[in-house]
Every structure is written in structure tokens, then in C-alpha cells.
Amino acid sequence: MMEQSFVMMKPDVAQRRLLGKILTRFEEKGLQLVAMKLLQIDESLAKEHYGEHAEKPFFNDLVSYITSSPSLAMVIKGDDAISLIRKIVGATNPKEADLGTIRGDFAMDMGRNVIHASDAPESAKREIALFFDDDEICDYQMVD
Ligand code: CMP
């Protein structure tokens, strides 16, 4: 089924000059980038995006990290994109993520796991709406 997922490269990716290298993985797989925004996330957006973790012990660290420097927010589209992107991204804990996945290849630390990707259609819808207006999502044909 054609799906859109919300994907966000976290602050240390731009700081480490890894945005292009990681973006390439989605393009090479055949997924379609339909929206993209480099932004400094503020505290209220961070708390809303990560609302489901509000009671977790790591919540404050998560919010302060995600607001510390710009993140790259994206909408990526493709056939079964949500689960496919989770596969490309790898396990939440980078030490458990398989080599060949983004987290497996670029991260060591749970709190600095490089990238966020929606885990289900409902969260994708919610997260996309939080970061993008409808008219910021592009509709275009790919060429081979
Ligand atoms: P993400 O996929 O963005 O969703 C929630 C984030 O919380 C997760 O990636 C991790 O970066 C972070 N996180 C989850 N569990 C822990 C933990 N035990 N300690 C620190 N950070 C965590």
C-alpha cells in the first residue's frame, strides 16, 4: 500500500555532516522524498512530538537534545514505506541495530540514535501534520 512516513534526522547528523550520506540510503532504495525542512525544533514542538514518552526517565534529556541544534524533517513516500523505512533505520538501540541499517552503521548511543521514523500509520499521520502543512507536501512523478 502506498504510504507516507515522517522521518527526521536528529541534531547530530547535520553537525557530523552526515545528512547527504543518510539521505542517499532512502533515495537508492527507491523511496520518494515529498517534503523536507531543516529546522531548529523548539521545546513545545519537541514535547508534542515525543508526548508518548512524557513520563519516561529520559524525556528531559530527549527534549533538550532534540532542541539543541537543527534537525532535518522529511516526509518520505513509497509502497509500504512505514515498515520499510523502520527496516532501513534499524533498531532503536544502535548497539542492537544490525550493521547495514542507518543506526547500526552511524550510531553507538541510544540517546543519539541519529534518526526518527514513524512506527505506524496513525503516528505517521500525526507527526506529518505536526511538522508540515498540506501544501508543503509535493506530488510529482519519479523517473527511472
Ligand atoms: P526515537 O525513535 O526518536 O523515539 C524516541 C526516542 O527516545 C528514541 O528514538 C531514543 O532516541 C530515545 N530513547 C528511547 N529509549 C531511551 C533510553 N532508554 N534512554 C535514552 N533515550 C531513549
- pLDDT over 90 (residue 83): yes
Share of the chain above pLDDT 90, in %: 99
Domain boundaries along the sequence of the chain: 2-136
* pTM of the entire predicted model: 0.96
Active site residues: 116
How many CB atoms lie under 10 A from the CB of residue 59?
16
In this prediction, residue 51 carries a pLDDT of 94
How many whole angstroms from 143 Cα to the centroid of ligand 1? 36
CA-CA distance, 70 to 84, in Å (whole number)? 25
Which atom of ligand 1 lies nearest, measured to the CA of 50? 5
CA-CA distance, 112 to 51, in Å (whole number)? 18
The alpha carbons of the chain give a radius of gyration, in whole angstroms, of 14
Nearest CA to ligand 1 atom 8: 92
Q: Answer for the pair 91, 98: CB distance below 8 angstroms, yes or no.
A: yes
| Per-residue pLDDT band at 144 (split at 50, 70, 90) | confident
Q: Select the CATH number that applies to the domain covering 2-136 from these four: 3.30.300.30, 3.30.70.141, 3.10.20.30, 3.40.50.2020.
A: 3.30.70.141
